[in-house]
């Protein structure tokens, strides 16, 4: 990776990198100038398609292809920029917004020009107050300089960007939950189809893109699709911001070509596992993606290889390292608590599955677990998600993956914990015992049993 030149983070350490004069002095807004004055929108879509830029928000969907799904005869288009960034341990979008907001604004201008959107809503995570303030100032600067507003750079293209703060819910990062929330409603994901490209914000054709995805676009317009495809692995192209946190000596966000191994991230960029210990669990892209074990650290963190050891995907490429003093029980307890709290509750397998898996983990952690609980949790997890087609959005898939990986990779440790932690008080009634024993193991039946359980 010695000859790799960072582009997305190249301004981060320059003083006042968040201001327009500094951004322009480093070549900023030249791509917008080039596209708006010499290219037509379809050419920008074709270029991004050719670059095979895949979405950085989690799903890895090809960006240019998504843009080309918009109906040809549309009258109005909206763009939503997803800056909700609530996946635990993910902070690359925050750095992009705080340290180089004009790079993002230039990406939005290009994305909107390509998709013919004249209104963009930047939906930002509620807790990101600093990034929000910086963006508000940057948008005002860009408007005053003629990069936003009417007839931008004399091209006839108009664009306004509105920065909209979320209210602290993880589910509002899901693109249709985001749209509902933007419209002032409860952030409940919508059933698809119709996809946002056909019917999105205010029922109009809408593109939803992640912050980092859009930040790649000015560089593609400037340097071309071949340059972009020269970085990364055979099917995962371009630069990527990897966040490294947890039990490492250095918690950083580092830009590297897609496909770096987990081992290199930990040992070279994260300064190694802290206290001279060894890594035991490595979450590769936010907790929804499952985990790698110590003998899987040579896995490449790109869109393809990460699936080989059984992870769900690359996700946000936020790598969390847990050392060999970490208990799989604590990891699962914290993870399942998060999902039980964040499930929006619309789909029975997700609402009940997340809640029951968390309750079971709580009991196991408290010393009241039984070996059969592991099978029950796995059965619940297997019924959750878009792959079996039982839920509206991907939260349930993500919630099930830590359980699936734990049962496949570290089940003996869980069994050992259950066998050696039986001293706790059993917070379980005979009726619950019967239910856990199997009669009501199907999630839809468990939901029926809930009122009964609450009475005992
Ligand atoms: C539960 C859930 C939470 C999500 N949170 C985010 C988020 O915070 N930021 C984001 O960009 N994408 C998030 N996504 C993915 C979005 O639905 C969508 O795929 C993405 O914003 C599309 O942008 P991209 O194609 O540029 O990656 C989330 C998905 C799910 C299922
Ligand atoms: S899968 Fe879960 S979070 Fe997603 S819509 Fe259904 S209940 Fe809500």
Number of the ligand closest to the Cα of 386: 2
Q: Can you give the pLDDT at residue 422?
A: 80
- Give a yes or no: residue 427 inside a domain: yes
Least confident of 109-113, 331-335, 414-418, 447-451: 447-451
* 27 and 172 part of one domain: yes
* 103 and 213 part of one domain: yes
* 243 and 224 part of one domain: no
Atom of ligand 1 nearest to the CA of 82: 11
Number of the ligand closest to the Cα of 289: 1
Assess whether pLDDT exceeds 90 at residue 425: no
Number of the ligand closest to the Cα of 398: 1
> CATH number, domain at 266?
3.10.20.600
Centroid of ligand 2 to alpha carbon of 64 (angstroms): 27
Exposure string for 242-267, b = 16+ CB within 10 A, e = fewer = bbbbbbbeebebbbbbbbbbbbbbbe
Residue whose CA is closest, atom 6 of ligand 2? 347
Q: Can you give the pLDDT at residue 3?
A: 81
Centroid of ligand 2 to alpha carbon of 315 (angstroms): 18
Exposure string for 161-196, b = 16+ CB within 10 A, e = fewer = bebeebeebbbbbbbbbbbbbbeeeebbbbeeeebb
* 222 and 319 part of one domain: no
Is 59 near ligand 1, meaning CB less than 6 Å away?
Answer: yes
Instruction: Render pLDDT for 341-393 as a digit per residue (tens, 0 to 9).
Output: 999 999 999 999 999 999 999 999 999 999 999 999 999 999 997 777 889 99
- Give a yes or no: residue 8 inside a domain: no
Centroid of ligand 1 to alpha carbon of 141 (angstroms): 28
Number of the ligand closest to the Cα of 394: 1
Q: Which of 173, 198, 229 is the last residue of a domain?
A: 229
Is 189 near ligand 1, meaning CB less than 6 Å away?
Answer: no
> CATH number, domain at 369?
1.20.1440.230
Q: Can you give the pLDDT at residue 445?
A: 40
Q: What band does 427 get if pLDDT is binned at 50, 70 and 90?
A: low
Q: Can you give the pLDDT at residue 436?
A: 57
Q: Which two tokens mark 273?
A: 């596992």
Instruction: Render pLDDT for 6-41 as a digit per residue (tens, 0 to 9).
Output: 999 999 999 999 999 999 999 999 999 999 999 999
**Residue among 52, 53, 54, 57 to mutate when testing ligand 1 (max atoms within 8 A of CB):** 57
Q: Which of 316, 273, 329 is nearest to 297 (CA)?
A: 273
Assess whether pLDDT exceeds 70 at residue 325: yes
Q: Can you give the pLDDT at residue 431?
A: 67
- Give a yes or no: residue 3 inside a domain: no
Pocket of ligand 2, beta carbon within 6 A: 171, 189, 343-347, 350-351, 391-393, 395-396
Assess whether pLDDT exceeds 70 at residue 428: no
Domain boundaries, position 348: 328-455
Q: What is the CA radius of gyration of the chain?
A: 23
* 250 and 289 part of one domain: yes
Assess whether pLDDT exceeds 80 at residue 443: no
Q: Which of 168, 199, 229 is the last residue of a domain?
A: 229
> CATH number, domain at 90?
3.40.50.11540
* 262 and 341 part of one domain: no
Instruction: Collapse the DSSP code of 64 into the 3-class scheme (helix H, G, I; strand E, B; otherwise coil) and give the result.
Output: helix
- How many domains would you assign to the chain? 3
* 37 and 116 part of one domain: yes
Q: What band does 116 get if pLDDT is binned at 50, 70 and 90?
A: very high
Q: What does the alpha-carbon distance between residue 444 and residue 107 come to, in Å, rounded to a whole number?
A: 44
* 279 and 361 part of one domain: no
Is 210 near ligand 1, meaning CB less than 6 Å away?
Answer: yes
What is the 3-state secondary structure of 121-186?
EEEECCCCHHHHHHHHHHHHHHHHCCCCECCHHHCCCCEEEEEEECCCCHHHHCHHHHHHHHCCCC
Instruction: Render pLDDT for 234-251 as a digit per residue (tens, 0 to 9).
Output: 999 999 999 999 999 999
Exposure string for 80-110, b = 16+ CB within 10 A, e = fewer = bbbbbbbbbbbbbbbbbbbbbbbbbbbbbbb
- Give a yes or no: residue 293 inside a domain: yes
- Give a yes or no: residue 337 inside a domain: yes
* 133 and 250 part of one domain: no
- Give a yes or no: residue 4 inside a domain: no
Question: pTM for the whole thing?
Answer: 0.92
Centroid of ligand 2 to alpha carbon of 423 (angstroms): 36
* 49 and 150 part of one domain: yes
Instruction: Render pLDDT for 195-238 as a digit per residue (tens, 0 to 9).
Output: 999 999 999 999 999 999 999 999 999 999 999 999 999 999 99
- Give a yes or no: residue 10 inside a domain: no
Q: Which two tokens mark 300?
A: 């490449």
Mean of the pLDDT values across residues 104-114? 98
* 398 and 429 part of one domain: yes
Atom of ligand 1 nearest to the CA of 177: 17
Q: Which of 183, 210, 229 is the last residue of a domain?
A: 229
- Give a yes or no: residue 9 inside a domain: no
* 114 and 38 part of one domain: yes
Atom of ligand 1 nearest to the CA of 213: 26
């Amino acid at each position: 990776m010695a000859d790799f030149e960072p582009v997305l983070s190249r301004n981060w350490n320059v003083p006042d990198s968040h201001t327009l004069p500094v951004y322009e002095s480093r070549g900023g807004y030249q791509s917008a100038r080039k596209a708006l004055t010499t290219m037509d929108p379809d050419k920008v879509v074709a270029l991004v398609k050719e670059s095979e830029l895949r979405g950085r928000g989690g799903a890895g969907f090809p960006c240019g292809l998504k843009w080309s799904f918009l109906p040809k005869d549309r009258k109005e288009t909206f763009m939503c920029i997803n800056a909700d960034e609530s996946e635990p341990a993910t902070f690359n979008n925050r750095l992009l917004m705080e340290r180089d907001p004009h790079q993002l604004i230039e990406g939005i201008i290009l994305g909107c020009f390509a998709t013919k959107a004249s209104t963009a809503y930047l939906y930002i995570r509620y807790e990101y107050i600093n990034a929000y303030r910086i963006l508000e100032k940057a948008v005002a600067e860009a408007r005053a300089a003629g990069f936003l507003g009417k007839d931008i750079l004399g091209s006839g293209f108009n664009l306004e960007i509105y920065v909209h703060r979320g209210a602290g819910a993880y589910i509002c990062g899901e693109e249709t939950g985001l749209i509902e929330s933007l419209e002032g409603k409860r952030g409940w994901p919508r059933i698809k189809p119709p996809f946002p490209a056909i019917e999105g914000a205010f029922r109009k054709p809408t593109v939803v893109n992640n912050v980092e995805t859009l930040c790649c676009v000015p560089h593609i317009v400037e340097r071309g699709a071949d340059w972009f495809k020269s970085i990364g692995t055979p099917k995962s192209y371009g630069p990527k911001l990897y966040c490294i946190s947890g039990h490492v000596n250095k918690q950083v966000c580092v830009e590297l070509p897609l496909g770096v191994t987990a081992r290199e991230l930990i040992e070279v960029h994260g300064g190694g596992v802290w206290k001279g210990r060894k890594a035991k669990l490595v979450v590769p892209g936010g907790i929804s993606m499952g985990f790698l074990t110590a003998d899987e650290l040579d896995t490449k963190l790109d869109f393809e290889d990460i699936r080989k050891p059984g992870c769900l995907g690359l996700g946000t490429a936020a790598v969390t390292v847990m050392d060999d003093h970490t208990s799989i029980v604590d990891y699962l307890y914290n993870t399942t608590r998060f999902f039980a709290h964040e499930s929006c509750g619309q789909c029975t397998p997700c609402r009940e599955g997340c809640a029951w898996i968390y309750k079971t983990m709580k009991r196991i952690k408290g010393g009241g677990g039984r070996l059969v609980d592991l099978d029950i949790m796995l059965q619940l997890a297997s019924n959750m998600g878009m792959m079996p087609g039982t839920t509206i959005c991907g939260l349930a898939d993500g919630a099930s993956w830590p359980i699936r990986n734990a049962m496949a990779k570290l089940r003996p440790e869980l069994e050992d914990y259950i066998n050696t932690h039986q001293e706790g008080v059993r917070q379980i009634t005979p009726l619950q015992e019967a239910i856990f024993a199997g009669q009501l193991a199907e999630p839809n039946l468990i939901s029926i049993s809930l009122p009964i359980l609450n009475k005992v």
